[in-house]
Amino acid sequence: MNTKIQSIKFNADQKLLAFAEEKVGKLDKFFDGIVSAEIAMRVENVSDEKNKVVKILLEVPGSALFAENKCKSFEEAIDLDVEVLKKQLAKYKERLRE
C-alpha cells in the first residue's frame, strides 16, 4: 500500500509520522487490496481543547473509504479513524462477495 502523509499548519515529528503509517498499515490485515492511503493531519482553532483533526482516505478497487475525527491528540484521532475504516472495509468486503 502506498501511504502519503500531510501535516497542515504544523511540522509533524518522526514519531507521529511513524505511528500514523504503522496504524494505517495494519488495515492491510483486513483487506489486502488497498491501493493507497492519504493521511491529512491539521491543527484547528488553537483555543479549543479538541483541535487535532485527522482525515484518512483509503483507495480500494472501484471505491474510496473516508474517515475524519477531531480529538485532543493526533494519536487518538488516528486510532478512531482506523476503527471506522475497519468497519468500512468489512462492509466493502461483504459487498464484493455478493
- How does residue 65 score in pLDDT terms, banded at 50, 70 and 90? very high
Q: For residue 50, what is the domain's CATH number?
A: 3.30.160.100
pLDDT score for 98: 83
Residue 95: which H helix or E strand, with range?
helix 74-97
pLDDT score for 74: 95
3-state secondary structure of 49: coil
Helix 74-97, helix 14-25: angle, nearest 10:
20
Question: Does residue 3 come out as left (phi exceeding 0), alpha (psi in the -120 to 50 range) or beta?
Answer: beta
Non-local CB neighbours of 43 within 8 Å, separated by 6+ positions: 8, 9, 10, 51, 52, 53
Domain count, the chain: 1
Q: Which domain holds residue 23?
A: 2-97
Instruction: Please write the tens of the pLDDT for every residue from 1-51.
Output: 899 999 998 899 999 999 999 999 999 999 989 999 999 999 987 778 889
Cα separation, 54 vs 80, in Å, equals 9
pTM of the predicted model as reported, rounded to 2 decimal places: 0.93
Tell me the average pLDDT across 79-89.
97
**pLDDT at residue 52 above 80?**
yes
